[in-house]
Amino acid sequence: MAFPSYMRSTETKIVGALIKKALGLGYLVSVYDGMEWPVKLSDDYEKITAEIAATDSTEFVFRKAEDGSKVGWLMLVHGNDEDVICDHTDNQLMNELVEGVDA
């Protein structure tokens, strides 16, 4: 796993499960660290996780790989342990994506 070493284990489990689920659903992930987009439209788990927690919050945009349509947006706030997922687009696909990953 390429998560930064300073990330809390609870957060890495939740975020890792979220990313794996998204990739399994055929989504591409873009990562915003509050200043720039170091990862755009990626399906590379290691590349995605390496860019998480560069700042106090990380944002993701998920798109369908087959047509590039936007699935939704999600925000992580680091240091919140099991509440690392702070907010996300309220639609069916995003609700299904986050469901169960924090269990």
The domain in which residue 65 lies consists of 9-98
Element (H, E) at 46: helix 45-50
Within a domain: residue 70?
Answer: yes
Within a domain: residue 4?
Answer: no
Residue 78 in tokens: 């680091």
Buried/exposed code over 1-13 (b: 16+ C-beta within 10 A; e: otherwise)? eebeeebbeebbb
Q: Which of 55, 16, 17, 50 is nearest to 36 (CA)?
A: 55
pTM higher than 0.85 for the full model? yes
Within a domain: residue 65?
Answer: yes
How far apart (Å, rounded) are the C-alpha atoms in residues 21 and 15? Answer: 10
Residue 35 in tokens: 């200043």
How far apart (Å, rounded) are the C-alpha atoms in residues 89 and 69? Answer: 14
Quote the number of domains for the chain: 1
The pLDDT tens digits for 7-22 are 889 999 999 999 999 9
State CA 41 to chain mean position distance: 12
Within a domain: residue 32?
Answer: yes
Q: Return mean pLDDT, the chain.
A: 93
Give 96's pLDDT tier (boundaries 50, 70, 90): very high
Mean pLDDT in residue range 68-77: 97
Asked whether the predicted pLDDT for residue 103 surpasses 80, the reply is no
Q: Give residue 21's pLDDT.
A: 98
